[in-house]
Amino acid sequence: MLRLAAIQLKTSLNKHLNITRAQDLIREAAKNGSSLIILPECFNSPYGNKYFPEYAEPIPDGPTCQSLSSVAKELSVHIIGGSIPERDKDGKLYNTCTVWSPDGAILAKHRKIHLFDIDLPGVFKFQESETLSPGNSLTTFNLPNWGRIGLGICYDVRFPELAMSYSDMDCRLLVYPGAFSMATGPVSWELLGRARAADNQLFVAMVSPARDTESDYVSWGHSMVVGPDGQILSDCKDNETIIYTELNMELLDSYRNSVPVRKQKRWDLYNNSYKETQ
């Protein structure tokens, strides 16, 4: 059994305070028995193109990563560090998630693959590509005595091919730190999380920042964890909070055996149909 904590953190303009608050909530989650603790997208920074260059830092040597490394070692827990704006040695910016082991070592780094470039006329427009570059690799890591975990960030959840690829890599849990907007969240947040879980018969964690109606970008909130049958195991509203979930591997294996769609796929037909449309 794995006890997971998803921290719906309220971020501010003060980077130091964001990091300190994240550490405090990580300690609270560990005190309550969680061994895997997840932060939201852009937890050390306001979300926005004008903020990414200002708050960006190198990985793993920047102050945010150093704080995550330190608290992971202090508490002997695994931490999925939501995401932060990353600046590489060539000056490129990425939206990047890091994973930390109980001894404070970095286990994985996922750069957001699909950039959030959308335009809902008269409603909402955002273009991450104005400042950020996309990542070019899938990212997984192994949690000892539990299984493999796949990483995505926010807009990555809209692409079922990514989740399916992780499923083929035998991931048991997909983690998506994400800051859906007030335009997209009510329509898509729950739908996409439950769909990715049900399609691939695995656990999905969607971890949002808390809603701040005074910020430039207002996040939807509603962090949640979904089971392999698509049912919500735990969730919250839009306030700063921590949600806890027990992930039972026996439940996952039992459901996969009862509804064995993973063994019943007709790739002989799907692949041919796909080729015929090209």
* Alpha-carbon separation of residue 16 from 19, 29, 44, 67, 101 (angstroms): 5, 20, 8, 10, 23
Backbone φ, ψ for residue 7 (5° rounding): -100, 115
pTM: 0.96
pLDDT at 88: 97
Task: Give me the catalytic one of 65, 109, 112, 128.
Answer: 112
SS3 10: coil
The answer to whether residues 146 and 249 touch, using CB atoms and an 8 Å cutoff, is: yes
Using one digit for the tens of pLDDT, what is the confidence trace for 146-176? 999 999 999 999 999 999 999 999 999 999 9
Q: Is 250 a catalytic residue?
A: no
pLDDT at 278: 47
Task: Give me the catalytic one of 10, 15, 41, 109.
Answer: 41
Q: Is 214 a catalytic residue?
A: no
Q: Is 154 a catalytic residue?
A: yes
Q: Which residues of the chain have pLDDT under 50?
A: 275, 277-278
The answer to whether residues 42 and 57 touch, using CB atoms and an 8 Å cutoff, is: no
Q: Which helix (H) or strand (E) holds 243?
A: strand 241-247
Task: Give me the catalytic one of 42, 97, 154, 171.
Answer: 154
pLDDT at 268: 87
